[in-house]
Every structure is written in C-alpha cells, then in structure tokens.
Amino acid sequence: MPASRHPALDIAPVIADALATGRPVVALESTLISHGLPAPRNVEVALAAEAAVRAEGAVPATIAVRDGRLLVGLSRAEIETLAAARDVVKASRHNLAAALGRPGWAGTTVSATMIAAHLAGIQVLATGGIGGVHRGGSASMDVSADLDELARTPVLVVCAGPKSILDVRLTLEVLETRGVPVLGLATDELPGFFSRSSGLQLQIRVETPAEAAALARRHWGLGLTTGIVVAVPVPEPAALPRAEADAAIDRAIAEAEAAGIHGPAATPWVLARVAELTDGRSIAANVALIEHDASVAARIAVALAENDTT
C-alpha cells in the first residue's frame, strides 16, 4: 500500500489489513450496481462477483463514492444502499473530483475504479467489459476515458473485451498505440463480450492466470506505467452466437440513431434493447462473464501476491 494514504480514501478495515499484510485484493467497479443492471439483479451480481473473488483466495474491494469519500471496499449494506439510491452520478476520470465535491453516491466506471485502486495500492481490477471508441468515434471523438486510464495507470484489468456495442477494431488499435498490452487468456482472438469471438486476432496469448501475473510483473518491472488488459471469453454455456449478438447490436444501434438517442444515454438504451432482442440472453451472458472475470482476476491477484513473497 502507498506510504501515505490519499485524504479522500476510506479503505475498509478488511481491505486495509489485506493490503498491509500482502494478501491479494481485487478491485470491483460499481457502475454495474448503479447504472448497469436492473434491481435486484444488480445486487445479486455484485455479491456474486465478490463471492467469486473470495472463492479463489483473494479479498474483493468494491469501489464507489459516497458523500465526498472514495470508498474502497463496500459492505453488503452499502452495496444495497447504492443499488436503491436515486440520482447516482456515473464517475469517470473527468468528473471524479466533482463527484467527490457533492453529497450522495457515485458509481465508479473502470477509469475511476482504476484511479481509486491505484491510490489504495490494488493492482488488479475485474469488470465485465471496458469502454472504448464508439461507432463513428473517428468523426465524433466519442471515446471512453477507460482507454486513456489504461494508458497511464498501472492496474491490470480483467474483462471479456471491450463492450461489443463499440467499434472494437478501433478500440484495439488505440490500446496498441497507447502501449497497453492486451492479453488473450487461452485464446488468440479478442473475445466478443456477449460472444466468445470477435474475429480480431490478438498478438499476446497467455495460458493461465499465473502467466498473466508473470507478464504483468515483467511489464511493470521495465518501468512501464500503463495498465494491462486480460481478455477472457464469456463461459461457453452462457455465450451468444457471434452472428446473433452482432445482428442484435446493429439493430439496436440503428434504432437508437433513428430515435435521436446519443451521448451518455445511448449505451444503456442500446444494451436494454439488445436484451429485448435476445430475449434476455444478453443479460445472462453479461452476468456470467462478470462472475467469471472476477474469478480469473482473483487467481491473477493471488499469483502476484505469491510472487511478492518469494
């Protein structure tokens, strides 16, 4: 853990103890609770992700903002309170300071969670999918702050790839340009979020979480300060066929554009419409991959911690 704690951080005692004693910790973002999933599934999935981390021998630290404090490690009661809260801010790099200057809750995106994790001394984060370049982003410049955060903050992020409603090819290009390693875990192909494939080849493959941890240590040991993406395919029983997922996403995006839905409102609208078009199977895939990513992240955190003590 850093020698001096940032004054805005409130680290739960169980997390502080784990960090002080060198035990593995996995950060978990909270926008899936506040903005990503409907109640009561948001609470169920958040708790299942935490349970998956514990089952692999690591300590989960769900992160959020409340009343001007950056909370690292929510209790179950706090997760339930966040899930029921209204007017919750979606905190990213650009508005994290503003969120800390107001009362109430803010859910943290991948970028804000990476910032908090790094401030606390947590090296590994689990999420469903990272943000990226939106379709048409080469003209609109609609690009998620997650990509810049990965380019500057040394946290390893386990995910099922970029959210597939994005321009995934351009997202991968930006990550490569910014020097962010994208590792396929037991795959040569970038996962397609809802589906197991995207048609895009990866340059780096690792077979096990331990190999991912070893690569991360080599990367950071060179003085490189970027984050690292470990891309893990959604478990096969829950995966959508790629053609079906792509067709549903294309239709939902076309309908959103026809309805004039743009900006921050577009992503949740498109995801909700994809769920309708797939009879809820996209949500089932999302739930399965979040839990699976948490489990893989915990195994990587355990391998990093073991290396630190040898």
3-state secondary structure of 125: strand
Tokens coding 32: 């899936």
For residues 62 and 82, is the Cβ–Cβ distance under 8 A? no
Tokens coding 50: 């935490």
Kindly name the residue from 29, 50, 78, 291 that is annotated as catalytic. 29
DSSP 68: T
CA distances for 124 relative to 15, 134, 185, angstroms = 13, 25, 15
- Other beta carbons within 10 angstroms of residue 40's beta carbon come to 11
CA pair distance 45, 290, nearest whole angstrom: 8
Beta-carbon contacts of 232 under 8 Å, excluding residues fewer than 6 positions away, are: 158, 159, 160, 185, 191, 289, 292, 293, 296
Question: Is 44 noted as a catalytic residue in this protein?
Answer: no
Kindly name the residue from 56, 90, 149, 163 that is annotated as catalytic. 163
Question: Is 29 noted as a catalytic residue in this protein?
Answer: yes
For residues 231 and 187, is the Cβ–Cβ distance under 8 A? yes
CA pair distance 41, 73, nearest whole angstrom: 20
Residues annotated as catalytic are 29, 163
